[in-house]
Every structure is written in structure tokens, then in C-alpha cells.
A and B are shown apart, each in its own frame.
Chain A
Amino acid sequence: MADRCFGQAVAGGVDLTHISDSDIIPDPECSEAMPTEGLHVDNRTKSSSMMDQADKENYDLPALSDLMLEDRSSDDNSESQKRTGSLTNYTSSTDLRAPTNIPARQHDLLDDEEVVRMAKEEGRVAVVFPGRVTQDSCCKIVCEILKCVLYQRQQLPMMYDQLVYYQKKQQAAGRVEDAVGWQAARPGGWDWRKCQRTLQDLDEVMLHLQDLFSLSRVPRVLLMLGGSVVLPTELYEVDMEALAAGMGDGFLRTAPCLRQLFRALFVADILSDARPVRLMATTVMALAHRDCGVDWFRPKLDYRVPARVKRQIISLSSDPALSHRPTTQAWEDYVWFQAPISIKGFCK
């Protein structure tokens, strides 16, 4: 029984490494998470044996989240069963799929099809995390989505972290050649000053997002590319209303959440477009509590999300068994805040 579980977990692990190899997330956190992968496997065996003791309250969250990744297919019902139900439930569901890996794979494919269908028809990518997430993680997730959108929508010539790395290298080199004059500013056809400005703006926005997330719950974030805030060219929404967030212990770690999210984004394929995109300014807006006291963001009390623009929604939620979805009244005192600077895209 423990063996079967282990085998499945490895299958999930393969899937995961495949994703992380596909270079969607060059997040430092993920690379930091990589070496611990072996540890995860240990945990998994441990946790499955722990499951025998029906100790479902204190299960190891990260390990389970990895397991969950593979079972993501299951509808809410069976997922909640797994989390809240007894051990017998858990074993039976594993047993059903355990004999060979094929059914599980098919299930996985079906799930992917569903993700693709939702992305195509509703413009929505739904990601259900198997637990609660800290506010800090929410912020990191939003920042990663922002970086990813900027790169995928051709506003940055390479991934953010690569760009930071190259820029640092460039600065180190530039300091030596400073005397040469301003022409040194664009070696290799790069306008490093523009690059620097974009990165500075992006960093500032992310820094202040961190502030905002520490001051208030943020149920929604809008990323608007081009046009104006009333009629953007492209609109991406991160919906975290149903995400059980908070601070303290017993929360999912960020890295597995990011992996799960980016896998879903990768499968749903909402960001890639073969057509070249012009350079645009990106504006970030966030819904936060009116009395949260943030001063960098500008409150826009009358703002309504533009309805006539096609928007892609990335909806993050916690497993419904863990949290009850807050009623709409709970968000009454939440107003939109707009970042006072916009991030201007640049290319080589």
C-alpha cells in the first residue's frame, strides 16, 4: 500500500520536474526548492505511513500538496473527501487508480482538457490549492504572475530573473568602462538605461504590493496592458476571493503552489500569442480594504472593472472543504487601488 502510494508520488514527481524544466519559473524560491525534492519523497513515504495512523489533521502539507498536484483532476467532491474523509476513503481512491498508471494519466489528460476548455470558453484558469496560503505567498504568487505576464506578452525581452542577472553583470562591467562615455550604455544593441528603468519600476510596484498585502487582504488584482484603465488592450485578473489566506502556521509553502499554478497556466496556454505585440505600459490595480492605510497606491473609489474588454481570469482558491467562500457583503468595504506608476515595456 505504501509502495503504491510511493510509486504514484514519483509519477507526480516526474510530471513536476518536467514542468520545472520547461523553464516557466526561474523563481529563486523554486531553485531553492529543488534540492529538497528528495526530501519530499522521504516525506511522502513517511506521510503515507502516518496516514495509517489516520492522523489527518497533522499531515505534512507540502508533501500532500505534491500528491494533490497529480490528483488535481478529481472534482471538488472527491478532493474534499480526501482531505476531510477518513483514511479508508483515501485508500479506496488510490486503489481505484493504482493498478496501472494509465488510468491516472488519462484522468490527468482529461483534466488538462478541462483546463484548456475553460481557458478557451470562459477565459478562466482555475487553480485549487490543497490548503491555506499565507498573505506573503499570495503576494509572491501575484508578483510571479506579473513577471510571467510581462515576459509572455513580450514586454520584457527575457525572463525577469535573467534580466536582473544580466543587468547586474552589465553594471559590474559598466563601472569599469564608465569613462568611455555614454556609448557604452548600449553594448550588444541593448538599451540598458531603458532596461534599468523598467526593472526599477517593476521592483517598486512589487515592493509596494508586498506592503499592500501586509496591510490588507487583497481579493483581486488586475494587470492591465496598454490603453487606459477604462479600456485596456489586455486585461488579466487574479481572483483570490476564495483563497483561504492568513498568517501563522499550517499553511502551504509557496514553491509547490507556484508550481501548481504555472503548470495550470502552461496547460491552459492563455498567455502565448504568435502575433507580435507592441510595447505597452502595464498598470497594476488591486482591491484592498478602504481603511488599510496604504499610501503609495491611489484609491479609485468609483472604478469598475471594464466589462467590454476580453479578460483572462486566473482564479486561485483553496479547497472549499477548508474554507467557506466569503459572501459578497464581506467585500463591500474593499475598494480599488491603482499603482501610481506603470511599467513600460521594452525590447532590445
Chain B
Amino acid sequence: MTGIVEGDSMEVIEDVKQGQNNCIDAVNIHVEVHVKSHSTAKREDVKLHVLALLNRHRIVFGNYSWTEFDEEFLAKHVESVSIVDAERQQIDLRSCCLSMYIFTLHDDGPSTLNLEEAEDLSAAHHWLLPSAEFHGIWESLVYENGVKTQLLDYVSTMIFFSDKNVDSNLVAWNRVVLLHGPPGTGKTSLCKALAQKLSIRLLNRYSYSQFVEINSHSLFSKWFSESGKLVTKMFQKIQQLIDDKETLVFVLVDEVESLTAARNAAQAGTEPSDAIRVVNAVLTQLDQIKRHSNVVILTTSNVTEKIDLAFVDRADIKQYIGPPSTDAIFNIYLSCLEELMKCQIIYPRQQLLTMYELETMGFQESNVSERSLAVQKIAAKSRGFSGRALRKIPFLAHALFVKTPKVTLERFLQAMDQAVSQQIEEKANLVNCV
């Protein structure tokens, strides 16, 4: 392999953690190789060809993705080669540790997990990761202060600790992540993206990853005292998946407050005692499950004050996901506009600068930065919008204020501005009505 790769320091490290052990000073670069789903090429061959490609393009600047290849083999078998999660600086690949992840996406949709008694109601949805459905979510989510990397590092450490057989009685961790915050900020999406990302990152450690999304409402029975048992049954199903040590299982409990409503509310008599049993069942089952090294429990909630304290205490990471900052909004708009230019709805294509580039220019008005600054103005205006609301602004702008199949970027930015004003107005009206 070294024959193909010129330069001795360029080596492929199989595992993230291993990479950190082996070359402590060198920067670790993650290279994700997305292989086409119909390709039957050997992974080693793909690796060799990708290394040759990287060898031809040694200097990259931050994240970069190749999707078109001159070489026949790569064009035939590989969808994309991406350098991801890199620092925003010039990178010389020769001086880096490369961690290469070669994966294909599972394109079959979710299958359902049924509990025996509940006839047709599916208790959970089940995906094989990396899934085609979750592809690209990670890149589309924009948060500040490295929320994403923090979560990634948390789970990596968790698996690292398990691998090193750290005694969990002495150093405890619970494998539970709680994301909370206002609606529409991408908590559920972040969970899915995180699972997808990790499934790719840990490909060499676990041959599969699975994602189980529990429908919490299906765990409540019409029969008194049955709900607790349903929870137990659900976890037994999950246990079956976990029993296979070769797979990493992500369990997502969306809107977790429905399963773990505070028990002290029940003491006031407003909650039936069956609900208490559910909380108890969930807590004890979680304690059961955390003994296994290959499970991560992801939970989300809008109303944290309603969640039982004992559950909140079990969560290792309680991450607040707030509405996006101006920078994040700018990035969201940028990705929207790029997509519309790619689809040729906005035509002709024009170069937009990133926030980083604007900063280095000191926000100076010039021919180049003019349009980007306009985007930034709109971003500042739409502060306080949720991520979900932001992503539909371009759509609304087109629907309400453009109405032609092709539009220039200037005209579209005006329309977006109008759409934002309209949204603010609508929001105010809603409050007035209340």
C-alpha cells in the first residue's frame, strides 16, 4: 500500500481511537467514502483507489467532497469521497492521520417491531444504518459552539471506555443523552444524524448499526396495569437486538416526557397510578440496558420540567438545543440557496461567500460580498425563528413572491426578505389573538 502512497507519513488508520493513540501530534482527518449501493467491489480495492485520489490532491482546505471522478474505477463504484469535520484551515494530507470509512447506504425503509399483543400497532420503527433516509442530515444541521462535535465525542468516549473495560461501578456512565429545547430546533433530526454519523465512524468496530425509534404512545395499554408490562416487552425486543455484540443499537425515545412524566404529579392525583408504573418500568429497564456496551439511548423533549427527576439524573448529557444564532441562520439560508441554484430555480448561479470568508473580509461592502451581505441582513432579521421555520422561508418566498420558474438571485433575496417580514407579522398576529 505504501508503494501507491508516496510519502511515508500518510497512513490509513482503521479506528478513530487507534488513530489518536498512534499519532498523537498529527491531525486526524476523517475521510468518508460513500460506495454506490450496486457496487460489489472489494473494500480493499476501493481503499487503494481512494488513497491514490487523495495522493493526487494533497492539499485541501477544510471540508471537501469529491463527487466526480476521472478514474473509471472510482466513477463506477464510488458516489463520493468527503473529508469531513475538519478544521477550517489548509490541510496537507501527507502530514495527517487518515481515518477512512468505506460505507454503502441501506436503501430499504424502516421495518416495524411489533409487540405480540398489540396486533397491528407497531411499537417501534427500526432502521439499518447507515440509512439512505438519514443521509445528509448531519451536514444540514447547523449549531454553534460545537454541539455536534461534543455529542460525537461523548459517544466515542463511551464506546472507548467500554472497549477498555472500565469498571462501570467506579466510573459510571448511563448511555443516555437528553436533548431538550423549543420545538423545531432539530432535536429529533440531530439524534438521527448522530446515529448515522456514528454508524459510519464505528464501521470498523461494529459491522452494523441499528436505529430503533420507540412510539411511546403505543406502550400505553387500555388495560389497567398492562402499560408497565408493555414497556418491559419493548425493552425485551431491544435486548434481542443488543444481544448481538457485533451491532451498535441506538434507541430513540422521542418526546420522552410522555414516558417519564414526573411521578410527583401523580401524588397530586392528576396522574393515574398506571403512569407511575410506566415511569418505574422505564427507569429499571434503562438500568438493565446500560450494562451492555453496544447501546446508546437518545431522548428528546420540549417540556423538561415535566420529566421525572430520576430520569433527568440518568442522562449523561443534557444538551439544550436552542433557536439558531444569526451565524447559524446565515448558514441555513446559504445551504438553501445553494440547493436552489443546483436545481436551477435560481439562475444564473452566483458565488455566495461563507460566514468565515465574510469575517476575513471584515464585512466590507464590495462586488463580491454584496449578495452575501444581503443574505446576512435577512438572517439577522429572522432571529428567533426555529430551524424548521427557517428552512421553509425559501419555499414560502418562491410560492408567495416569485411565481416564475426561473429567478435571479437578487430578485429571490428580495422575495425572501418579504417572506421573513410576513412570517414576523403572522407570529405577532398569533400572539394578539391569544
From 259 to 308 in chain A, residues with beta carbon under 8 angstroms from any chain B beta carbon are 278, 281, 290-291, 295, 298-299, 301-302, 304, 306-308
**Once the chains are docked, how many angstroms separate the CA of A284 from the CA of B97?**
41
Binding-face segment, B241-249, B255-263, B379-387? B241-249
Kindly list chain A residues whose C-beta atoms are within 8 Å of the C-beta of B42: 290
Contact residues on A (Cβ < 8 Å of other chain), bracket: 20 to 34
* Number of cross-chain contacts by CB at 8 Å: 43
**Once the chains are docked, how many angstroms separate the CA of A301 from the CA of B126?**
20
**Once the chains are docked, how many angstroms separate the CA of A304 from the CA of B207?**
9
Kindly list chain A residues whose C-beta atoms are within 8 Å of the C-beta of B246: 304
Cβ distance A345 to chain B, nearest Cβ, rounded Å: 14
Query: Which of A278, A290, A299, A308 contacts B243, CB < 8 Å?
Result: A308
**Once the chains are docked, how many angstroms separate the CA of A335 from the CA of B108?**
18
Q: Are A298 and B38 CB-contacts (below 8 A) given A231-B240, A306-B244? A: yes
Q: Is the CB of A301 within 8 A of B208?
A: no
**CB of A230 within 8 Å of the partner chain:** yes
- Looking across the interface, which residue of chain A has its beta carbon closest to that of B246? A304
**Once the chains are docked, how many angstroms separate the CA of A298 from the CA of B241?**
23
Q: What is the 8 Å Cβ interface bit string for chain A, positions 237-268, against chain B (1 contact, 0 not)?
A: 00000000000000000000000000000000
Cβ distance B335 to chain A, nearest Cβ, rounded Å: 30
Q: Is the CB of B128 within 8 A of A301?
A: no
Kindly list chain A residues whose C-beta atoms are within 8 Å of the C-beta of B108: 340
**CB of B43 within 8 Å of the partner chain:** yes
Q: Is the CB of A227 within 8 A of B38?
A: no
From 78 to 112 in chain B, residues with beta carbon under 8 angstroms from any chain A beta carbon are 104, 107-108, 111
Kindly list chain B residues whose C-beta atoms are within 8 Å of the C-beta of A228: 111, 126, 128, 210
**Once the chains are docked, how many angstroms separate the CA of A227 from the CA of B246?**
18
**CB of A229 within 8 Å of the partner chain:** yes
Kindly list chain B residues whose C-beta atoms are within 8 Å of the C-beta of A335: 40
Kindly list chain B residues whose C-beta atoms are within 8 Å of the C-beta of A302: 207-208
Cβ distance A315 to chain B, nearest Cβ, rounded Å: 24
Cβ distance A189 to chain B, nearest Cβ, rounded Å: 19
**Once the chains are docked, how many angstroms separate the CA of A291 from the CA of B43?**
14
**CB of B344 within 8 Å of the partner chain:** no
Q: Is the CB of A230 within 8 A of B247?
A: yes
Cβ distance A169 to chain B, nearest Cβ, rounded Å: 31
Q: What is the 8 Å Cβ interface bit string for chain B, positions 20-47, against chain A (1 contact, 0 not)?
A: 0000000000000000011110110000
Kindly list chain A residues whose C-beta atoms are within 8 Å of the C-beta of B38: 295, 298-299
Q: Are A307 and B244 CB-contacts (below 8 A) given A229-B128, A302-B208? A: yes
Tell which of B42, B43, B111, B246 has the most Cβ of chain A within 10 Å: B111
- Looking across the interface, which residue of chain A has its beta carbon closest to that of B203? A302
**Once the chains are docked, how many angstroms separate the CA of A298 from the CA of B132?**
14
Kindly list chain B residues whose C-beta atoms are within 8 Å of the C-beta of A290: 40, 42
Q: Are A230 and B40 CB-contacts (below 8 A) given A298-B107, A306-B244, A308-B240? A: no
Cβ distance A112 to chain B, nearest Cβ, rounded Å: 34
**Once the chains are docked, how many angstroms separate the CA of A295 from the CA of B40?**
11
Kindly list chain B residues whose C-beta atoms are within 8 Å of the C-beta of A291: 40
**Once the chains are docked, how many angstroms separate the CA of A340 from the CA of B246?**
24
**Once the chains are docked, how many angstroms separate the CA of A5 from the CA of B128?**
58
**Once the chains are docked, how many angstroms separate the CA of A299 from the CA of B43?**
13
Query: Which of B40, B111, B240 contacts A301, CB < 8 Å?
Result: B40
Q: What is the 8 Å Cβ interface bit string for chain B, positions 193-214, against chain A (1 contact, 0 not)?
A: 0000000000000011010000
From 247 to 275 in chain B, residues with beta carbon under 8 angstroms from any chain A beta carbon are 247
Q: Is the CB of B210 within 8 A of A301?
A: no
Cβ distance B77 to chain A, nearest Cβ, rounded Å: 11
**Once the chains are docked, how many angstroms separate the CA of A291 from the CA of B77?**
13
Query: Which of A227, A278, A299, A304 contacts B111, CB < 8 Å?
Result: A227
- Looking across the interface, which residue of chain A has its beta carbon closest to that of B244? A308
Cβ distance A192 to chain B, nearest Cβ, rounded Å: 22
From 110 to 166 in chain B, residues with beta carbon under 8 angstroms from any chain A beta carbon are 111, 113-114, 126, 128
Tell which of A228, A301, A304 has the most Cβ of chain B within 10 Å: A228
From 42 to 56 in chain B, residues with beta carbon under 8 angstroms from any chain A beta carbon are 42-43
Kindly list chain A residues whose C-beta atoms are within 8 Å of the C-beta of B43: 301
Q: Is the CB of B39 within 8 A of A299?
A: yes
28 contacts between A and B (CB under 8 A): A227-B111, A227-B113, A228-B128, A228-B210, A229-B128, A230-B128, A230-B210, A230-B241, A230-B244, A231-B240, A231-B241, A278-B114, A281-B111, A290-B40, A290-B42, A295-B38, A298-B37, A298-B38, A299-B37, A299-B38, A299-B39, A299-B40, A301-B43, A302-B208, A304-B207, A306-B244, A308-B244, A335-B40
Chain A residues proximal to chain B, CB less than 8 Å: 227-231, 278, 281, 290-291, 295, 298-299, 301-302, 304, 306-308, 335, 340
> Closest 6 interchain pairs by CB?
A290-B40, A228-B111, A299-B40, A302-B207, A308-B244, A308-B243
Extra inter-chain contacts (6) besides given A231-B240, A231-B244, A298-B107, CB under 8 Å: A230-B210, A281-B111, A298-B38, A301-B43, A308-B240, A335-B40
